[in-house]
Amino acid sequence: MVTSSWLHRKLFEPISIAPLVTFRIVFGSLMVASIFRFWANGWIEDQFITPSFHFKYFGFYWIPDPTSAVIYACFLMMAVAASMIALGLFYRYAAAAFFLLFTYVELIDATYYLNHYYFVSLVSLLLIFLPAGRQSSLDVALGWVKPLKKVSAWSIWLVMFQLGVVYFLAGVAKLNEDWLIHAMPLAIWLPTQAHLPVLGYLMEWWAAPHLFSWFGALYDLSIPFLLLWRPTRPFAYLAVIAFHVMTWWLFQIGMFPFIMIGATLIFFPASTHERWQRQLRLPVWGENVVQESSKRLQPVLTTVLALYVLVQTLFPFRNLLYPGDPLWHEQGYRFGWRVMLVEKAGYAQFKVVDATGGELWVDNSEFLTPVQEKMMATQSDFILQYAAHLKEHFEAEGISVERVSADVRVSHNGRSSQPYIDAEVNLASLSDSWTNKPWIKPLQ
Amino acid sequence: MFHRFTPIIAAALAVALIQLSGCKDPEDNEPADTFDKEAMLTNLADNVIMPAYTQLADDANTLKSAIDALQADPSNTQRDVAREAFVTLQLQWQRCAPFEFGPAADENLRRTANTFPTDTAQIERNIREGNADLSTASNTDAKGLPALDYLLFGPRSQEGDWSADRLEQLSVNIDLLVEEFTTVNDAWQNSYRDEFVKNLGNDVGSALGQLVNELNYEFELVKNARVGIPLGKKSLGVPQEEKVEAYYAERSLDCINAALTAQQNTFKGGEGLGLDDYLDHLDARYGEGMLSAAIVEQFDECLSNTNAIASTLPDAILNSSGQVEELHTSLQNLVVLLKTDMPSQLGVQITYQDNDGD
């Protein structure tokens, strides 16, 4: 009970709301920018309207595909909701709306899974429950909610924990032979940037991939702690900027670097945030108002927080429950902060066999976009969904589909292409589950 | 204090680990020197791509003159002159087909010039109705090289049955090709070449990205449209031999040979720097040997399987399908090297969309 009461005291200790206010404004603004960038690049059309078929996440097959009007409306509403988060207008409803819309859009097609989209979903879920709209917001200005000067410490720690998880587990994921010993995939990616000014010459240097790999792993593993510790914090934040700007420059990773540069500001002390907010003339209301939290609810809240932390810590490691190299079979791979770990390309030749033994070779480009085809050829759950889709398609054309099989070759982190699955297995007779897929061939 | 020593410790660790790992020993690793990507692109532009387009525009003009002469004198002699010019143009097209980016993509050149099998009923309708506008949606499958193939080698041409409307349809088609080919050739000559050789990234819009992705696309057309579909791969094994390219001229195998030779030559960069040299520079391996050698050899195998077929392709599909199956298998093996090993060694992207490395 001693630890538990100590923990309670710490979790519910009132601390300044200022870091949370900065986080709300920065996150909301970056989301607005991300949505307009996505829209302006034509990706709503490319990703959600052009494809005639969408890959789903296991357990979310029921997610409906949007019409073109619906998907554009989703993005418009997301932009509105994100602006409202930044402004603190109907903050809690805006956060809930943003979370639901963003997560729905992510669930439409698993082809486009990115760890940072998952991160955005999680953060917007947390924001619903954080009192980030209780200061320097329109809600307060209009008198709809009471202003707060101080909030329970957990609300800021939770965001720090979420950011720490992203970095630390991304670092843990790098502790593998390909990354540390063979400097893969950076040994492939860096030389492709040899034409860049200044840094280009470095990219061609034989030791560059090794140095980048090790520094990358070291950075990910240590940065949450270096940001937490006051003496190292300014240097750590400079490293955050340098690291993310570098990755933004070298790789096609979109808004993620800026989201992380903005989000990690939360590690700075409240006094720093208060100074920034004064300089920006952000209005502050109320006199030392402290967030009330009912003593009866505290144990419930502590339990919920503990569960969240536990799930976020353990769920990414579920891949250890599958035999073989998770970087190859990718079972239990998503939602685990495994980023930039693999360079791979696959080719999948599907064959549909009818009752008379006639064989039909599938041209994937008739069913999938190039991006979908690339993702399908290297991910076993997509292979199953595609096989089921082909069976359905050809049966609708009047062919009695006996079996669907596929010759899939994958080139993985510089290795020669090799069979990814058993080409003899009837994929149409299988359905996806969380159990191991024994028809995935081991990595040679 | 930790932060001050972190870089030093890390650097020391780095040096130690590099020595230990031994997989990149600088002493015996000659690709440490840099590769001039711009020189490769310049070679490809100046010695492979642009000469091909210039020749294509010339060959189209030669066929146009021959068709003009046939219009003036619809004799079998003039017909045979036009036929010969057509075959030259059809084969030259194969040497340009992999470059469907930049000016060619702007013109949607492949679709306009070589959509096959052609819709002969629509061509006959155009002749009957005196329809000279090939840009309509109904004519998507009834124009370009396959239409000329039908008009110059089809049944009516054998009988020397040349109505004015039929000759006019020939003329409309070759005019379209002359215009399209000249436009693309001019664009390369005027400004696109410089744009191409300076576009050094590896994203989908870079010169390398477009070259690799379009080379692969065209190669898959050899495997699927030129061989697989006629062989019955999309019709449960029932042959569709009439769907071959250059069906009426009976030059399907020559087209395949020309296409594969051109694609191999593009890969090799002709006599100069090509994708093969770039892969070698990156030390790209396949099994025990070099990936570039494996790709060149597999092209050779595809070519020798093509050349091994003695009859016409439709004939072989119906009477000695084993040989065509063998060709198809060798194409299938090459597509794996071209679509998995090559792009992943080059780190070429297939989309602008964000990715986080998986």
User: What average pLDDT does the segment A2-29 reach?
Assistant: 89
A382-401 residues touching B, CB cutoff 8 A: 399
Query: Could you tell me if residue A221 is inside a domain?
Result: yes
Q: How far apart are CA B207 and CA B217, in angstroms?
A: 15
B315-344 residues touching A, CB cutoff 8 A: 332, 335-337, 339-341, 343-344
Q: What is the CA radius of gyration of chain A?
A: 24
User: What average pLDDT does the segment A31-49 reach?
Assistant: 96
Q: Quick check: A128 contacting B, CB < 8 Å? A: no
CB distance B235–A360 less than 8 Å? Answer: yes
Residue finishing a domain among B200, B226, B248? B200
User: What average pLDDT does the segment B78-103 reach?
Assistant: 97
Query: CB–CB of A61/A2 below 8 Å?
Result: no
Q: Quick check: A221 contacting B, CB < 8 Å? A: no
Residues in chain A within 8 Å Cβ distance of B24:
183, 187, 206-207, 209-210
Q: Which residue of A has its CA nearest to B10?
A: A215
Q: What digits encode the pLDDT tens for the residues B282-329?
A: 999 999 999 999 999 999 999 999 999 999 999 999 999 999 999 999
What would the two tokens of residue B115 be?
A: 């959509």
- Both A84 and A136 in one domain: the answer is yes
Residue finishing a domain among B136, B165, B200? B200
- Both A145 and A199 in one domain: the answer is no
pLDDT of B18 reads 43
**CA-based nearest residue to A388, from A406, A370, A408:** A406
pLDDT of A204 reads 81
| In the predicted structure, residue B32 carries a pLDDT above the cut 50 | no
| In the predicted structure, residue B4 carries a pLDDT above the cut 60 | no
Residues in chain A within 8 Å Cβ distance of B285:
416
| In the predicted structure, residue A84 carries a pLDDT above the cut 90 | yes
Q: Quick check: B34 contacting A, CB < 8 Å? A: yes
Q: How close B8 comes to chain A (CA, Å)?
A: 12
* Domain ranges, residue A312: 155-253+293-338
B181-200 residues touching A, CB cutoff 8 A: 200
**N residues, chain A:** 444
Please name the amino acid found at residue B203. D
B230-249 residues touching A, CB cutoff 8 A: 233-238
Q: How close A145 comes to chain B (CA, Å)?
A: 39
Query: CB–CB of B342/B285 below 8 Å?
Result: no
Task: Report the percentage of chain B scoring pLDDT > 90.
Answer: 82
| In the predicted structure, residue A195 carries a pLDDT above the cut 90 | no
Residue B2: pLDDT band by 50, 70, 90 thresholds?
A: very low
Q: What digits encode the pLDDT tens for the residues B215-245?
A: 999 999 999 999 999 999 999 999 999 999 9
Q: Quick check: A182 contacting B, CB < 8 Å? A: yes
A185-214 residues touching B, CB cutoff 8 A: 185, 187-189, 191-195, 201, 204-207, 209-211, 214
User: What average pLDDT does the segment B33-51 reach?
Assistant: 93
Domain count within chain A: 3
User: Which residues lie below 8 Å from residue A78, measured CB to CB, with a gap of 6+?
Assistant: A31, A35, A98, A101, A102, A105
Q: Which residue of B has its CA nearest to A349?
A: B332
ipTM of the complex, rounded to two decimals:
0.88
CB distance A338–B358 less than 8 Å? Answer: yes
Q: Quick check: A265 contacting B, CB < 8 Å? A: no
* Domain ranges, residue B55: 32-200
Phi-psi region of B22 (alpha: psi -120 to 50; beta: other; left: phi over 0): left
Residue B7: pLDDT band by 50, 70, 90 thresholds?
A: very low
- Both A26 and A92 in one domain: the answer is yes
Q: Which residue of B has its CA nearest to A353?
A: B236
What is the domain-level CATH number for residue B249? 1.20.1420.20
Residue finishing a domain among B139, B166, B200? B200
- Both A84 and A207 in one domain: the answer is no
User: Which residues lie below 8 Å from residue B257, measured CB to CB, with a gap of 6+?
Assistant: B303, B306, B307
pLDDT of B256 reads 98
| In the predicted structure, residue B349 carries a pLDDT above the cut 90 | no
CB distance B341–A210 less than 8 Å? Answer: no
Query: Could you tell me if residue A5 is inside a domain?
Result: no
Q: For chains A and B, count residue pairs whose Cβ atoms are closer than 8 Å.
A: 169
pTM: 0.91
Query: Could you tell me if residue B16 is inside a domain?
Result: no
**CA-based nearest residue to A243, from A232, A256, A230, A225:** A256
User: What average pLDDT does the segment A87-107 reach?
Assistant: 98
Q: What digits encode the pLDDT tens for the residues A276-325?
A: 999 999 999 988 777 777 778 888 999 999 999 999 999 999 999 999 99
Q: Quick check: A272 contacting B, CB < 8 Å? A: no
| In the predicted structure, residue A39 carries a pLDDT above the cut 60 | yes
Domain count within chain B: 2
Helix (H, G, I), strand (E, B) or coil at A103: helix
Residue A192: pLDDT band by 50, 70, 90 thresholds?
A: confident
- Both B126 and B45 in one domain: the answer is yes
Q: Quick check: A179 contacting B, CB < 8 Å? A: no
pLDDT of B5 reads 43
pLDDT of A8 reads 82
Q: How far apart are CA B242 and CA B233, in angstroms?
A: 14
- Both B212 and B194 in one domain: the answer is no
